[in-house]
């Protein structure tokens, strides 16, 4: 649970940096939960724009390598 969309997006990127989701893909987006009012990850829908840009720019690959150090 994340209180803001920005924090949820940053956590989504961090999760993809730290973990290998493989063919399952893992979470690809965030959504606002109507029940609790917080943001959560989801593996459904369109990929998050910020995550997609992070991957396409090559920053994800660099961060994954840095994390392994």
Residue ranges of domains in the chain: 5-68
Write the pLDDT tens digit of every residue in 14-66: 999 999 887 778 999 999 999 999 999 999 999 999 999 999 999 988 988 88
Q: Tokens 């392994």 — which residue?
A: 68
Residue 69 pLDDT > 90: no
pTM recorded for the entire structure: 0.86
Q: What is the signed CA dihedral for 40, 43, 47, 50, rounded to 10 degrees?
A: 40
> Is the predicted pLDDT of residue 9 greater than 90, yes or no?
yes
User: For residues 41 and 27, is the Cβ–Cβ distance under 8 A?
Assistant: yes
């Amino acid at each position: 649970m994340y209180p803001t969309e920005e924090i949820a997006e940053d956590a989504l990127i961090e999760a993809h940096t730290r973990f290998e989701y493989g063919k399952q893909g893992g979470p690809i987006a965030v959504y606002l939960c109507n029940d609790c009012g917080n943001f959560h990850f989801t593996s459904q829908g369109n990929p998050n724009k910020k995550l997609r840009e992070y991957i396409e720019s090559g920053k994800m690959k660099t961060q994954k390598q840095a994390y392994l150090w």
